[in-house]
Amino acid sequence: MIQGKAIKFGRNVDTDQIIGAHHLSRPSIRDMAPFTFENTPRFVEHFAEGDIIVAEDNFGCGSSREQAPAVLKLRGIGAIVARSFARIFFRNAINLGIPLIECPEADKIDHLEMLEIDDDRIRCLKTGKGYDIIPLPLFIRSILVDGGIIAHLQRKETDTQRDVNLSRR
């Protein structure tokens, strides 16, 4: 279960907006994070750790910069809900273990609404309204459950090692 307030965006939010080009040469994600969505007042003014980005179509389009999901993660984003995600952002965010939620009715959610998200539904706490979510493919979910691609690969390695050990016994 994920809880947080909605920070609302429209369609085609590109990764240049999330973190500008001139920040990418800073030495670490920690140095970049304060500039997350720096030209988007509704984020700068309202975002608090655990909040949920809610957007319309094609969230994260444009540049492949992984710094974009990485600064969101460091800032403590609770989840990203969108009508749809751009491909590279989708992959990068899942790799980092950020919960991505595809919801065809994401546009109906209001800015600053308190949300509660479980496996198959988003609920607005004030109005009680609920919205269905499209479940992630199993393979993607297994990466997310492990906490990202690196943890996933490490678990697979350990599993294989354990199988080898078992077969040796």
Partner 1 sequence: MNVIEKILAAHSTETVVRPGQIIDVKPDYVMANDATACLAIDVFAGRLNAETVFDPESVILVMDHYTPSSSVNAADTHNKMRAFARKQGLKNVYDGMGICHQLMIEYHVEPGQLIVGADSHTCSYGALGALATGMGSTDVAVAWKEGKIWIKVPEAIRIDVMGAWPAGVCAKDLILKIIGDLTAQGATYKALCFGGAAIGALPVSERITLCNMVIEAGAKFGYIAPDEKTDIHLKAAGRTSYASFTDDSDAVYEQVLTYDVSRLAPQIAFPHSVDNVYEIERFEGMAIDECFLGACTNGRYEDLAIAASILNGRKIADTLRFLVTPASRDIYLRAAQSGIIATLVESGAMVNAPGCSACFGGTGGILGRNEKLLSTANRNFRGRVGSPDSEIYLASPAVVAASALNGTITDPRRISR
The residues of the shown chain that bind partner 1, judged by CB under 8 A, are: 12, 14, 16-17, 20-22, 24-29, 39, 57-58, 61-67, 69-70, 84, 86-88, 91-92, 95-96, 137, 139, 148-150, 153
Q: Read off φ and ψ for residue 33, nearest 5 degrees.
A: -55, -40
Residue closer to partner 1 (CB basis): 138 or 166:
138
3-state secondary structure of 131: strand
3-state secondary structure of 96: coil
- Supply the minimum distance, in Å, between the C-beta of residue 4 and partner 1: 24
**CB within 8 A of 21, min separation 6: which ones?**
63
- Supply the minimum distance, in Å, between the C-beta of residue 149 and partner 1: 6
Determine which helix (DSSP H) or strand (DSSP E) holds 68, and give its type and residue range.
Answer: helix 67-74
Residue closer to partner 1 (CB basis): 41 or 128:
41
Residue 57 is encoded by which pair of tokens? 């179509």
- Supply the minimum distance, in Å, between the C-beta of residue 25 and partner 1: 4
